[in-house]
Structure 1
């Protein structure tokens, strides 16, 4: 770092034409500048400036070093300008990782609004149910459904995702409507089988009593899209996050049951690396997602 300062000082002396003028530009004493140039000459073992009481001139080594110093300083100035540009307004490529189901169902419309608000940002979205390695990949921000965020990352809580137990009207007409959590044990249930099989179902009734119900049914799948389609087709009951079935509940394709009961919520987090100075594009997305909480469910 000291050598870089000395090189910058040398370039300033050459460009200003004198030690006095360079000292005024840099806000330091002429003696301090002379000390830096002497240190630089000692580092490289060459004389950089011929100095007399009336004038100064570059040696051959000084001319060569000045050309290198100027290129380095120009690149540093360009980098500084670029950093100011990136920190001043959202721009550049924002790489996002998000779960398949939530990304397909919820994130698309939100990203459309975000990109219209920030036209100089380009989004690269990777939908995956695998946890993205933020430190080892180019991902800027990840959306994760977890009640225990990984240590070493900054997790910003966005929303609590609540579950709905529901079925098609045709299924309820054939098999009846469960009146209590215990009734689920005798119904045909569709089971989510991701990394962890969602069985038993944990449901708290209106009195606050938690029930652990071992369910069974005709199908298990690791795709919420498939499970929802089978439920709409009348195959059985499902327990899915409400955002996955909101449209079907609104249209009547599915009917919610056990409405006075509740299942454990899953927390939605926005996760970044613990960098104190996030780029403007990332800060803008974080702020946007926080503003959009109502649309995350």
Structure 2
């Protein structure tokens, strides 16, 4: 410990330019700082500073020693700041956007639970299936589905997401189940927010354009149509797994199921140290399995 005191005294004298300034910063006397630097020089067997009545000047050895040592104390200060930041209470307004159904069913309850723990925080939630520009529109976090496009945003994987092509048993009494992607052309496809479905063929992503007489930009409406036998639909797991378990829906084309998909929390790079952003995402990753139908969560940084 004594050696660190000597090094710190030397570094502060050089950084601040005088023994008096270093003593004031370290809250000790000038003589104590001078004594620590002299002890360090004796310990190293070399002169580190040339002292005059007006100024100090580094020797060659002093310049070399300072270059190696001052980074240590910069690191200490950064470590202390990081710990203080970690312990800081989230404050201000947390503004978040998410896809509508997933946000309403799974994200909103977790936000509400988080707010119970941190009542000093304010929350603004916006649920939409529109791709939101979170920087231009001032959001702290966006919850996004599927494969992410390259961007300057930081993304954290919060859980897996599987997509199924499903139909009802009543539908399959009228037309046989498809076993290849080409057979989709002979089926009534229920179209949601996109008119192409995603698959994997021998490890390669493929998009198949589908056609049908039914279209809506609503997941619940799409699910209802599939349950009533109006056609095939491609829907994520959190819509259909309970109906697959009960037999109300049947999954087809599982051999081609698109695997490169997940649920992500994305946020602007400059906000990654904000306590409200960091702590909520940590909370989300830790607890989202409690809200999902199955335990499919994996926390991973991308």
TM-score grouping bracket, smaller chain normalisation:
0.5 to 0.7
Inter-CA distance 267–213: structure 2 relative to 1 (3 Å threshold) = same
Inter-CA distance 255–109: structure 2 relative to 1 (3 Å threshold) = farther
- Once the 2 structures are TM-superposed, how far is the Cα of residue 190 of structure 1 from its aligned partner? 0.8
Distance in structure 1 (CA, Å) of the matches to 2:212 and 2:230:
9
Q: TM-score, normalised by structure 1?
A: 0.60
Inter-CA distance 179–94: structure 2 relative to 1 (3 Å threshold) = same
**Cα RMSD after superposing both structures:** 3.5
- Once the 2 structures are TM-superposed, how far is the Cα of residue 228 of structure 1 from its aligned partner? 1.1
Inter-CA distance 131–259: structure 2 relative to 1 (3 Å threshold) = closer
Helix, strand or coil at the partner of 1:275: helix
Indicate whether 1:203 and 2:199 are aligned.
yes
Q: TM-score, normalised by structure 2?
A: 0.59
Question: Which consecutive residues of structure 2, in runs of 5 or more, have no partner in the other structure?
Answer: 1-22, 31-83, 297-302
Contact map agreement 1:95 1:141 (CA 8 A) in 2: yes
Helix, strand or coil at the partner of 1:225: helix
Aligned residue pairs total 218
Helix, strand or coil at the partner of 1:164: strand
- Once the 2 structures are TM-superposed, how far is the Cα of residue 209 of structure 1 from its aligned partner? 8.1
Match of 1:216 among 194, 208, 211: 211
- Once the 2 structures are TM-superposed, how far is the Cα of residue 94 of structure 1 from its aligned partner? 1.6
Once the two structures are superposed, the pairs formed by residues 125-144 of structure 1 within 5 Å of their partners are 125-144=125-144
Inter-CA distance 85–28: structure 2 relative to 1 (3 Å threshold) = same
Inter-CA distance 214–136: structure 2 relative to 1 (3 Å threshold) = closer
Distance in structure 2 (CA, Å) of the matches to 1:136 and 1:186:
43
| Residue number in structure 2 paired with 1:154 | 154
Contact map agreement 1:97 1:143 (CA 8 A) in 2: yes
Distance in structure 1 (CA, Å) of the matches to 2:146 and 2:246:
29
Distance in structure 2 (CA, Å) of the matches to 1:126 and 1:265:
26
Distance in structure 2 (CA, Å) of the matches to 1:173 and 1:125:
43
Distance in structure 2 (CA, Å) of the matches to 1:265 and 1:286:
22
Deviations along 1:159-188, one digit per CA (max 9) or x if unpaired, are: 342210111221122223223333322111
* Higher alpha-carbon deviation: 111-120 or 167-176: 111-120
Inter-CA distance 230–26: structure 2 relative to 1 (3 Å threshold) = same
Q: Which has the larger radius of gyration?
A: 1
Match of 2:251 among 248, 256, 261: 256
